[in-house]
Amino acid sequence: MKYASLIALPLLMIAAQPAMAKGCIRGAAAGAVGGHMVGKGHAVAGAAVGCAVAHHHYAKKAKVAAKHG
């Protein structure tokens, strides 16, 4: 349980950016399913990683779109 704050804090910071919320939710859902398939107790970790990866992807995509017009 000590590590819950290490996961919760970055997720709260990411959640504060509403433009990327859709990507985070999609990534979290996919990560949770993947983590569940890996083994018991990995769904939460998969959701956290999936959210972070999807957020990064959509942030990069938005940065390129802003640069080009």
Fill in the DSSP letter of residue 3: T
Tell me the per-residue pLDDT of 39-66, one tens digit each, with 9 for 90 and over. Answer: 888 898 999 899 888 888 888 888 888 8
Instruction: Between 44 and 4, name the one with better pLDDT.
Output: 44
Q: What is the largest CA-CA distance in the chain?
A: 45
Fill in the DSSP letter of residue 2: T
CA atoms within 13 A of residue 9's CA, in its CB half-sphere: 5
Closest CA to 61 of 19, 28, 12: 19
Residue type (1 letter), 22: K
